Chain A
Amino acid sequence: MSKYAYYPGCSIKGSAKQYEESLFAICKPLGIELQELPDWNCCGATMYVSVDEKISFALSARNLAMAEETGMDLVAPCSACYVVLKKTQDYIQKYPEIRANVDKALTAAEMVYRGTVRVRHPLEVLIHDVGIEKIRETAKQPLKSFKIACYYGCQIVRPYQEFDHPCYPETMDDMFRTLGAETVDWAFKTRCCGGSLTGTIEEVGLRLNYILIKEAQRKGANCIVTICPLCQFNLEAYQHKILKKYRDFSEMPILYFTQIIGLGFGIAPEKLGIKRSIISPKKIIEQLAAQPEPEQVQIPISS
């Protein structure tokens, strides 16, 4: 059993509940235990640093300090949280002035951060710590009916290019192919979904997401798979509005990578939060069940 400290972030407790459900569901068979940081605070996303730099890094350091106490690596499933935590670590090291401010704030809160925490994204934990081999061994159900457009979004691969290419990443594609799904080759793997802009200037956000869905469909995908709560929300929750406006594509389910892996592991859809989808992937999943098991296809050779 490998243990990690877990930083959920605000979205996962709200609109991205199915991400957490499926993440925990797949951790079990892989022997991973996630321990939620008690009393974590908001990472600040892209908003905090737009208003006050000093306090934004200090607040983020509070989470890091709590994680450091556990002695474990810190897993952050939301891309915004992931990048903010990583950036805080990077800037504390690079800029003595930021370090001084962070220390000042932490001291006032009777906390210390020495700078030893490793911040991880679940995708990277699966690739590096668990490994493709183990995922292949755990898989029970080949995902033959899935034609996936892997959508990495921006912040998990940029600016900290820890485990994949910043513009054309491939780790998620590899993993789904291992699980028997087809993945489509498309150019928009890391093209921005607009983030919070979809909520503030909807016109622009709708178009950004329209471009993504349209292109995924043109390339033959039957679903888009994301790793970030904000990408998932923008692509799914606004999809009916996008359809009304642009019309030249059809409804497309938007799932989390953890949900897909869970299906591959043979975990029941109810345990993966599939029911929380606004755009149901039911059809693709039903086709999955309709497929004969590989053993049954083999023609017995009579002796």
Chain B
Amino acid sequence: MQSLSTRHLLGIKDLTESDIQLILATAKEFKDVINRPIKKVPSLRDITIANVFFENSTRTRLSFELAEKRLSADVVNFSASGSSVKKGETLLDTVNNILAMKVDMIVMRHSSPGAPHYLAKHIPANVVNAGDGTHEHPTQALLDSFSIQQKLGDVAGKRVAIIGDITHSRVALSNIFCLQKQGAEVMVCGPATLIPKHISALGVRVSHDVREALNWCDVANVLRIQLERQQIKYFPSLREYSLYYGISKQMLDELDRSIVLMHPGPINRGVELTSDAADSHHSIILDQVENGVAVRMAVLYLLAQL
């Protein structure tokens, strides 16, 4: 049986193309599992996983938890609010305390880029990055690729436009790595202040015109405006953003061909997407959510085999 080249999932950057293909192929099998009347397999019944979330999350945490439970793992959840973090405990102390209770795998979300890499260097357990600041969100990128694969058959050769706040987005960076490794073309689009100056060196196209991006792409992956991650002012107002960078159903309908609309959620309805666009036939946003569970099952399952 094939296995992953790494014992942690820290970022897509560190994965090989065959790692990605293995995860996506495994996810396909798990998607079948979760659509059966009995949605559960016993694969990880001897494994205990802690979901350690130092940043707010509903869907990612829920998705991981369901993935873990459907693999029959024992699950504990830790979130920063009301935790010892506020008392000044270090990240390593917090995690080592959890590990002392015989936990085998850590799924962590953290606001600091590189926090899971730091952890992986210092603890024996497998680490899964569930989002590290503005760096990577590997399972999101994997589920996005899986969703494109499911919808369009293949990722290779597709044109994907990532639209919105690229600077503060871990989803954008992981998607760029993931899509490029599979042979897709990537464009990023947004106000110039929300696009990293050096992003084109990564081999992506850059646009500041949302219509240009929509006309170019097969898939539009629209990102949430990360107001909570912007420590400084990057654009004047949400009103102006939605006027010039928001996507409506009408804009999608006016294109000369049909494109796929994605969003990692949660949507700011009326900001980056109008409601009619989000709920239109172009949108696979809820499929992404469903696929998220299958992809995370695949990741956890494959890491547990190592």
Are A and B co-members of a single complex? no
